[in-house]
Amino acid sequence: MNATQQYLLDSHRAARYGDRRPPQPGQNDWQVIRELTNPPPRPTTPRPTLLSRLHHLLHPHPKPRP
């Protein structure tokens, strides 16, 4: 059984039982290839906010003694 025959069989079953129709064969191929060749960007680390910088300036940590 090829992909077209399987699609027709699945479409018939979906119509008979009131389910959603399956996607057509090859409909999402470009999307899959694009996802495989272009991975999602890495998340960047958040930059410190003005409030956190101000807190570190006002409350410095004591430096360890040598």
Spatial distance between the Cα atoms of 39 and 35, rounded to a whole number of angstroms: 6
> Is this prediction's pTM over 0.95?
no
Tokens 């570190």 correspond to 56
Residues 4-27: tens digit of each pLDDT: 899 999 999 999 999 999 888 888
- Collapse the DSSP code of 39 into the 3-class scheme (helix H, G, I; strand E, B; otherwise coil) and give the result: coil
Residues 27-62: tens digit of each pLDDT: 888 888 888 888 778 777 777 788 888 888 888 777
- CA 42 from centre of chain: 11
